[in-house]
């Protein structure tokens, strides 16, 4: 295994620091603007980005979020309570369940995703710099 240089440690630390600042912003913004947890926001993002015409299966959602199946189910329960997502049985196999954003979920997501995109644009130079330093 190659030796890490002092500048490698600095780049790793700088990247983690930039990520923590972004995640701190995200947590505060989601709570204040949308009453969402970071996990709920990530679920809404995954549903918007990967659901396709039939929705996203709970298994695919749990993989995307890197959580256990029952955690994804609990997350969807909370999103359904707020009318942000909706479950639908599969057409060919009614045992399979797919999840889709509701119009209210899509509107809320668009609002908070725009905040996140703006913050990422603001913070990305320091993250990119740290990543580029690690590629050398």
Q: Flag whether 129 is in a domain.
A: yes
CATH, residue 117: 1.10.10.10
**For the chain, what is the domain count?**
1
State the DSSP H helix or E strand holding residue 87, giving kind and residue range, or none if neither.
strand 85-89
Answer whether residue 22 is part of any domain.
yes
pLDDT at 23: 96
Token digits of residue 29: 């913004």
1 lies in a domain?
Answer: no
In a domain, 106, yes or no: yes
Domain hosting residue 114, numbered range = 6-135
**Is 36 a member of any domain?**
yes
21-25, 35-39, 41-45, 123-127: the lowest-pLDDT one: 123-127
Instruction: List beta partners, residue 97.
Output: 89
Tokens of residue 20, six digits:
């923590």
* CA neighbor of 39 nearest in space, from 1, 94, 8, 84: 84
Residue 91's pLDDT band, with cuts at 50, 70 and 90, is: confident
- Give this prediction's pTM: 0.90
d(CA 134, CA 22): 20
Please give the Cα distance from 82 to 103 (Å, whole number): 12
The average confidence (pLDDT) of the chain is 94
Percent of all residues in the chain with a pLDDT value above 90, rounded to a whole number: 85
């Amino acid at each position: 295994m190659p030796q890490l240089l002092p500048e490698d440690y600095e780049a790793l630390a700088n990247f983690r620091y930039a990520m923590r600042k972004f995640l701190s912003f995200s947590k505060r913004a989601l709570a204040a603007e949308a009453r969402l947890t970071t996990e709920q926001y990530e679920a809404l993002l995954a549903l918007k980005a990967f659901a396709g015409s039939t929705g996203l299966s709970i298994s695919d959602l749990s993989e995307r979020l890197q959580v256990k199946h029952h955690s994804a189910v609990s997350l969807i329960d909370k999103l359904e309570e707020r009318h942000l997502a909706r479950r639908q049985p599969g057409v060919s196999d009614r045992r399979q369940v797919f999840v889709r954003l509701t119009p209210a979920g899509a509107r809320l997501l668009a609002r908070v995703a725009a905040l996140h995109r703006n913050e990422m644009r603001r913070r990305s130079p320091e993250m990119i710099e740290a990543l580029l330093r690690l590629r050398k």
